[in-house]
Structure 1
Amino acid sequence: MGSIVIPIPDGDQGFTHDIKQEKKFQASLSSTISFVQKNKDEIRKVIHAIKVGIALVLVSLVYFVDTFYKEVGDDNAMWAIMTVVVIFEFHAGATLSKGLYRGAGTVVGGGLGGLAAILGQLVGGIGNPVVVGVSLFIFGGAATYVRLNPNIKKKYDYGVMISILTFNLVSVSGLGGESVIEIARERFLMIVLGFAVCICTSFFVFPMWASDELHDSTASKFEGLASSIEGCVEKYFNEKENQSARPIASFKGCISVLNSKAKDEPLLKFAKWEPPHGKFGLSHPWEKYQKIGETLRELAATILSLEGSVNSPGESLQALKESIKEPCEAAGSSLARALRELGESIMKMRRCQPGASIAPKLKVARQELSQAMSSFKLGKLDNAEGFAIACFVFTLMGVVEKLEDLSKEVEELGELAGFLQD
């Protein structure tokens, strides 16, 4: 009788298989996360496009509800769709502000246009178009003149433009003998409907908060400036070793901060319009972000001024640089650590107590730089060479002063915003 061999799997075989599966899952998860991070902006654009599509579908349902459609008519129903197309912006705060400006402009322009149309109908005959024409000329010209004012154009340009458009449409509609009040009412209701659809879609379907973007953008600038300081000091004192990687790499953070104003200003404006959400309360001090941004740009400009020292031919100064290398590198490290700590404080919304933790670092940096500038070390140098080195050290001292101002601004932000205590 033949023997039957029953294979018994190795006890470790199943365990090894599980490990391989886990590693594959981790690798897949890691690649997915990496893809999302690299294409974050594109993904957000796709989400925004989908949200606009959803809003257009919802507002177009007006055409499919027979009772509602017959009530408002084709000419008025399209105003809901126009409202979605015009006011739906990428950030939630931008959508809200633009919608409210559109509503205010519609009320003002529609109200005045209705009065002009009613007055024209009361005059009647040939006087009707004359009254409407004169009203269009006066209101259109006056509103356009007001719109050219820089302060009005910066803040209320869209609302004024909508008021001019609505005034024209409502006042002219009265020339056909239609009920001006009824037309204005129906169109205003359609605008309100479009506005409501935009707000609900923008706020509740993957909302894009300008406040989150501004907060994260402000916090990330600190790391860029810290890296710029470290890279600058390293290149200045290790010139021969860094001939191939010279000037721009260590100043990318500064250039990015200096170019950030055009992006941050709209974010700040939209953040003020957004309702309380997440970690941001009703009275979050957004003005402090503006002040911190200005101080960061001043600090970036000061750091960038070190580029002249880094790029200047310094082979003859290499021996002289060695005499101040140690204190300057120590000062640079202290400044970079202080910057990172301030940035982390904003990112995590926790108070870092600048008086207890940042001030000692800045004090050490100032002492190190004062040591480098001592008469004992620079008194024997040639005037031109001594001046070149002194410019570099004095600029670093300027960085210390700017960083002290910055730490005060961050501390005030923590107090006003109610950051948690470490």
Structure 2
Amino acid sequence: MIDHPTRDVGFGVYVHWPFCASKCPYCDFNSHVRHQPVDQERFLSAFRREIAHTAARIPGRTVTSVFFGGGTPSLMRPETVGAILDAIGGAWTVDSGAEITLEANPTSVEAERFRGYRQAGINRVSLGVQALNDPDLKRLGRMHSVEEALAAVRVAASIFDRYSFDLIYARPGQTPQAWAAELRQAIGHAVEHLSLYQLTIEPGTWFERLFNAGKITIPDEETGRALYDVTQETCEKHGLPAYEISNHARPGAESRHNLLYWRYGEYAGIGPGAHGRLVTGNARLATSTEKHPETWLSLVEREGHGVIDEEVLTTEAAGDEFLLMGLRLKEGIDPRRFEAFTGRSLQESRVLTLEEEGLIHRDSQRLRVTPTGFPVLNAVIAELAS
């Protein structure tokens, strides 16, 4: 039996910077455009207060990863980033080998800040490239060109030992052949890590309006599956196999912070709209903060934190989340951790059925989704969780 199924995985801090220069039409993240300069000093003070409040609730942790997400964290001054990292270091112990990632847009202006971020303590950047095709970048609402994006990748490579970038596929009109060529080009620039997301039409986005009006189409299910298969085959062939359903890396170069999520570890969510999973005593808490940036700011200034929703997860809910996150990974899960969360074993008859269908594989230590199972992952998880 596993003594503690959460803390052995590590402890991370997620910091959400909610501002963007423009809103991309496909994006449903908590991101906001402001036409006046953001008061970074005031937000920094609020980040410090929320970090201190969280640390008082869960003291004594050792931070193994920090992730600045958004929004567009590369709109922050390097001094702001450094001060937030100082606050995290003052609240908890930061492991000497901690991975500290910042998401960045690959415009030339932001690329010039990279050296400042490195000096502030960032040791890994994740670039939102999204496409290596100028017409598609324009269609996706991106503010950079392919030339600017690749220049930013080169700058990142010259400053950081570790970097990654994102691409979106299954774009309107995209064929498997065109995607394979674009992916090979991307791999030529990606030293160790790529995040490759299949475009989906999210509720409330501008793309949803266009889609419903018949003004854009996305590849049908059969083409989408072919694009997914091309993604897996091309990355595997070029030494960046999938370690998670949408993430590819050379062995040892996986995103440690995202592994913390998928392995269902403990993490604090700091900033507007941030989510956390905290462990206090034997309880696992799901926390979320106020999404609207200025409302969050006022709340923190008044209360010391911006948490507006907090739930003690039942053993059943924790087990479901553990499966939902862990089975996304190529490494799969240790069923003993499921037992530690829930007090029960996975239902053997369901496991056997999925094995017989070739959708999962298990050995003495782990249960994994097979390559056949990954395209129907949600159904596999639903079967195991029920």
Indicate the structure with greater strand content.
Answer: 2
Q: TM-score, normalised by structure 2?
A: 0.23
Quick check: which has more Rg, 1 or 2? Answer: 1
Question: Between Structure 1 and Structure 2, which shows a larger proportion of helix residues?
Answer: 1
